Amino acid sequence: MRDLPPIESLVHVSVVDGVRGGRVPREGYQRGWGLQFGGLSEKIEAEPLFRHAINSVGIPQLVSPENRKNIYLLLTRYLPKLPSQNIIEFGTYRGGNALFMALIMRELNPSAKVYALDTFTGMPETDKTRDAHSAGDFSDASLPVLNERIAQLGLTNLLPVQGLFEDTFPGLDAGPFGLAHIDCDIYSGVKFAQDAVWPRMCAGGYVVYDDATVSSCLGATEAVEELILERKIHSEQVWPHFVFRVGL
């Protein structure tokens, strides 16, 4: 495992430590405030592991720079504290983000697995009362291209899973998960993913939403609002991702 400077040496926040309302506000401030206002972004860009992962992906990543850095922080400073470091991604598209996560985890914990779930043929039917996206969006994904890149990089820890979430996830012999990255844009996908993965997360696990605060994804936002109402939980972080904790 690589030696990385602790988060406390990179950014200082005045919020006291401890679990409150099912999350750790201090940790959310470290990542969110640190990236947005605390100069943390530039420090991450200077880390060799971050630069190596970015430069090695080799597939276009439909991920904002801030979201990518937040994922990096979660993987390098927070996930190692959990009893499981397995990762699951709902909505992989071309696989750039999955490759990025797998490259990092290979350095930090080679035994941890990254499961990348997607149809790899585009979006299924959407709910036009909620979703701006339509069936077939993102159909330029290619599982063969992703598998070729996985082989080129020797990423034995990255496992793509093709099909609709509701068909593939229930039979997936994997978990518990330390991090679930939900990046599927539409109400039905987000709703299924969050409800299905919640009981398969380890204690303290991170549920991270890529697009629930994006203007084109109000269906995803609605699903997260329902999660908050049904489970009576608070978010640990609201920028650049919505982040929730399981079992705290």
Q: What is the pTM of this model?
A: 0.96
Average pLDDT of the chain to the nearest whole number: 95
What are the angstrom distances between the C-alpha of 14 and each of 17, 30, 185, 188? 9, 10, 34, 39
Q: Which CATH architecture has domain 19-245?
A: 3-Layer(aba) Sandwich (3.40)
Sign of CA dihedral 230, 124, 119, 240: negative
pLDDT digits (tens, 9 = 90+) for 153-193: 999 999 999 999 999 999 999 989 999 999 999 999 999 99
74 neighbors 31 (Cβ within 8 angstroms): yes
Domain spans of the chain, in order of start:
19-245
Q: Would you give the distance in Å from CA 150 to the centre of its chain? A: 19
Quick one: pLDDT at residue 175?
81
* The pLDDT of residue 84: 98
Q: Rounded to whole angstroms, how far apart are CA atoms 1 and 110? A: 9
User: Which pLDDT score is estimated for 202?
Assistant: 98
Predicted pLDDT at 77: 97
pLDDT of residue 59: 86
* Parts of the chain with a pLDDT under 50: 1
- Which H or E element spans position 148? helix 143-153
| Residue from 103, 129, 125, 133 nearest 116 by CA | 103
Distance of CA 217 to CAs 26, 33, 214, 221, 233, Å? 28, 24, 5, 7, 21
pLDDT of residue 3: 81
What pLDDT shows up at residue 176?
98
DSSP line for 18-36? S-BTTB-HHHHHHHHHHHH
